[in-house]
Amino acid sequence: MTTILAAFSAALGAITGSFLNACIHRMPRGIRLGNPKRSFCPACNKLIPWYENLPILSWVLLRGRCSGCGARISGRYVLVEILTAACFLALWLRYGLPLAPVYWIFFALLIAATFIDIEHFIIPDEITLGGTLAGIVFALAVPALHGTASHWLSGLMALAGAVLGAGLLWLVVEGGKLAFGRKKHVFESAQSFQWTRDGDRADLVVGGEVHRWEEIFSRESDELVLNSSGPVVCDGVERAADSLRFHYDRVEIGGETLDLDKLDTICGTLDSVIIPREAMGFGDVKFLACIGAFLGWQAVFFTICVSSIVGCVAGVAGLLLSRGRARTVLPFGPYLALGGMLWLFGGRELTDWYFSQFQR
């Protein structure tokens, strides 16, 4: 029976990993999970039959290619299925009932958030806010999740963990905004720029490089400053201005504020630009709230410490390995997920051992 249950856990993990692959592909693209109901090839949109959608096995038999168009299927698909299967098995062997099924759901959230964040630099609210709510509900239903027999106490501990997790990272985000919220770039020679609006979409082109307008601004107070080196042309009307102060929906030129919804183009040349930036995304704030709801306040501190240390090491390694080449930027969400995972596989014991050294 022990072997059967272990095999069932691994198989369930592989099946869950297949579902997570659909979430990872569809959620950031706004594709509903139920429409289409079956998986499809991103290259040719062929609906995949069930016998070509068997976790791990189908990818191996198809040699990582679509049977319809021959397009390569990313190795991420089989990696997620293997990783989820291994995590489900390890959680079952370590915790058993009633905790393992709850941690299965928690790990599924961590895995989906990690791969979405790596590819798109976002963590959907369905994972962060939905996961936080799920953590509180499971705490009420399974009080052993927080080491107590009281359902209400367990729920309060989950709520406290969520509030602490969100609160601590919110302070980091706000502190980082105050310290590093603006970055100035000075060009060696004057660069042309053009802001254009096409319906609901707007783009800023600087020196031939295109920037999506909504990706520049994270909050309403953000300000993008272009220091102009000549006249500025707004919808064919020339204006004299030393600088343009852009907010998401308006621009200040020569002391006058113009509504961007009523403009189609703004162009000119610039010498320097001051770009708004964030120390961390608010998705990470909500993600740590989810981790705190499932694991509690102690895990919040552990996750922050581990993610910060690993993130710093990875950042330094990236600088050393890049040697002047373009570096791959990794978001912070995967480090938070790693901290949450490590807490369940020795983090609590490591923390207890560490603090026991001060009692001697």
User: Rg of the chain's alpha carbons, rounded to an integer?
Assistant: 25
Q: Single out the residue of 251, 285, 293 nearest to residue 158, CA to CA.
A: 293
Instruction: Look up tokens 């703004």; give the residue.
Output: 266
**How far apart, in whole angstroms, are the C-alpha atoms of residue 235 and residue 262?**
10
**How far apart, in whole angstroms, are the C-alpha atoms of residue 117 and residue 122?**
5
- φ, ψ at 188 (rounded to 5°): -65, -35
Question: Exposed e or buried b for every residue in 14-31, given b needs 16+ CB within 10 A?
Answer: bbbbbbbbbbbbbbbeee
- Whether 222 and 250 have beta carbons less than 8 Å apart is answered as no
Q: Which two tokens stand for residue 356?
A: 């026991």
- Whether 147 and 59 have beta carbons less than 8 Å apart is answered as no
What pLDDT, on the 0 to 100 scale, is given for residue 318? 76
Share of the chain above pLDDT 70, in %: 97
Q: pLDDT tens digit string along 164-211?
A: 999 999 998 888 888 777 888 888 888 899 999 988 889 999 988 888
Instruction: Look up tokens 């020679």; give the residue.
Output: 189
What pLDDT, on the 0 to 100 scale, is given for residue 287? 96
Lowest mean pLDDT among 98-102, 130-134, 237-241, 300-304: 237-241
Instruction: Look up tokens 């240390």; give the residue.
Output: 309
Rounded to an integer, the average pLDDT of 147-171 is: 95
Residue 227 in 3-state DSSP? strand
What pLDDT, on the 0 to 100 scale, is given for residue 278? 77
Q: Which two tokens stand for residue 90?
A: 């390890």
Residue 2: other Cβ atoms inside 10 A: 8
Residue 233 in 3-state DSSP? strand
Cis before residue 98, ω within 30 degrees of 0?
yes
**How far apart, in whole angstroms, are the C-alpha atoms of residue 191 and residue 269?**
5
- Whether 177 and 187 have beta carbons less than 8 Å apart is answered as no
CA dihedral 210, 214, 218, 220 (to 10 degrees): 130
330 pLDDT higher than 80? no
Question: Exposed e or buried b for every residue in 314-348, given b needs 16+ CB within 10 A?
Answer: eeeeeeeeeeeeeeeeebbbbbbbbbbbbbbeebb
**How far apart, in whole angstroms, are the C-alpha atoms of residue 136 and residue 295?**
10
- φ, ψ at 198 (rounded to 5°): -130, 95
More confident residue, 52 or 120: 120
Residue 39 in 3-state DSSP? coil
At a CB cut-off of 8 Å and minimum separation 6, what does 146 contact?
A: 139, 153, 154, 157, 158, 296
Model confidence band, residue 53 (pLDDT cutoffs 50, 70, 90): confident
What pLDDT, on the 0 to 100 scale, is given for residue 323? 66
Instruction: Give helix 99-120 / helix 125-141 axis angle, nearest 10°.
Output: 170
Expressed in angstroms, the distance from the first to the final Cα of the chain is 44
328 pLDDT higher than 70? no
Global pTM reads 0.84
Amino acid at 195: W
Instruction: Give helix 99-120 / helix 2-26 axis angle, nearest 10°.
Output: 30
Beta strands in the chain (DSSP E): 182-198, 201-206, 209-212, 224-228, 232-234, 237-239, 243-246, 250-253, 256-259, 265-276
Instruction: Look up tokens 């020339």; give the residue.
Output: 238
